[in-house]
């Protein structure tokens, strides 16, 4: 401890070139850049757990069919389900969800390319989901940025459609690396597009050996029971939110 000014080597602070010229010094922080987001995400996780609510974060490129998948899921499964919609602008998706009868909060991020833990915290308090329910969080359509931001959700789902190409898991590994499950949507279009399904599954397992791949057509219903099966397993901790 410097008796003159009180500076010290304590508390992670290292003094650099300390001749009492007092011009500059090095402060060692060793701080995670996203520490604040991660901290708020932990608060969300606790908040959700206290209410026995499961949050599922849906991430994808724009237009892969997240909202269509949610509309079908809500209409067919019913139960206590609510939605947080993330988009840069408009209430279009919230309007679609509202039409199913499920409570919804729209978050408009403006220039922002992803939801963060603080946005979800505010949306959850506004949504006020009932105990034992499921909250779907439809992230901003973007296959890059949402990967980095923990929201405090219990499950992360990546939705991809067959029109996007089988090479995407290798081209956007960060997103696929964080997923619990990958939903391959628009399989009804497989006869009309060049999409190598086995290459896709191989690409997913190359970046994330634990992620399960579920092929569905959210418009026609193919494979949807498998999606519901995964969902039931994922929310078992909440009881009967998703009817069996």
Partner 1 sequence: MHELSVAQAVVDEIIAKLGDVPVTKVRLAIGRRSGVVVDSIRFCFDLVVEDTSLAGAELVVDEPPDRDLRIVSVEVIRTCAPPAVAPTTPACG
Q: Which residues make up the interface to partner 1 (CB under 8 A)? A: 4-8, 11-14, 16, 22-37, 39, 43, 111-114, 116, 144-145, 147-149, 174
User: Nearest approach, Cβ of 74 to partner 1 (angstroms)?
Assistant: 29
| Residue 15 vs 99, nearer CB to partner 1 | 15
C-alpha to C-alpha distance for 20 and 34, rounded to whole angstroms: 34
132 token code pair: 């034992």
Residue 53's H or E segment, with its range, is none
Which of 235, 217, 173 has its CA nearest to residue 69? 217
| Residue 20 vs 191, nearer CB to partner 1 | 20
C-alpha to C-alpha distance for 64 and 69, rounded to whole angstroms: 9
Rounded to 5 degrees, what are φ and ψ at 153? -70, 160
| Residue 85 vs 116, nearer CB to partner 1 | 116
| Residue 2 vs 193, nearer CB to partner 1 | 2
User: Nearest approach, Cβ of 14 to partner 1 (angstroms)?
Assistant: 8
| Residue 130 vs 148, nearer CB to partner 1 | 148
Helices 92-100, 66-77: inter-axial angle, 10-degree rounding = 10
C-alpha to C-alpha distance for 21 and 15, rounded to whole angstroms: 12
Which of 154, 137, 179 has its CA nearest to residue 51? 154
Which of the 8 DSSP states describes residue 156? E
Beta carbons within 8 Å of 64's beta carbon, 6+ residues apart:
141, 159, 160, 161, 164, 185, 186
User: Nearest approach, Cβ of 148 to partner 1 (angstroms)?
Assistant: 5
| Residue 36 vs 75, nearer CB to partner 1 | 36
């Amino acid at each position: 401890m410097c008796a003159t000014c009180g500076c010290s080597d304590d508390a992670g602070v290292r003094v650099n070139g300390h001749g009492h010229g007092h011009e500059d010094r090095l402060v060692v922080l060793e701080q995670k850049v996203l520490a604040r987001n991660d901290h708020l995400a932990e608060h969300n996780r606790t908040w959700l757990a206290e209410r026995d609510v499961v949050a599922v974060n849906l991430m994808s490129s724009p237009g892969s069919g997240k909202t269509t998948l949610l509309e079908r899921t809500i209409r067919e499964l019913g139960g206590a389900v609510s939605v947080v919609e993330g988009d840069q602008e408009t209430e279009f998706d919230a309007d679609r969800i509202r039409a199913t009868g499920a409570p919804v909060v729209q978050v408009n991020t403006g220039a922002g390319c992803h939801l963060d833990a603080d946005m979800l915290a505010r949306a959850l308090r506004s949504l006020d989901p009932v105990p034992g329910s499921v909250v779907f969080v439809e992230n901003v359509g973007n296959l890059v940025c949402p990967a980095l931001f923990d929201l405090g959700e219990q499950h992360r789902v990546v939705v991809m459609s067959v029109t996007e190409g089988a090479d995407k898991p290798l081209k956007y590994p960060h997103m696929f690396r964080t997923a619990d499950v990958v939903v391959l949507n628009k399989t009804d279009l497989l006869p009309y597009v060049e999409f190598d399904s086995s290459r896709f599954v191989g690409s997913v397992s190359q970046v994330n050996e634990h992620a399960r791949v579920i092929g569905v057509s959210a418009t026609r219903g193919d494979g949807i029971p498998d999606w519901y099966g995964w969902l039931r397993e994922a929310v078992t901790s909440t009881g009967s939110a998703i009817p069996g």
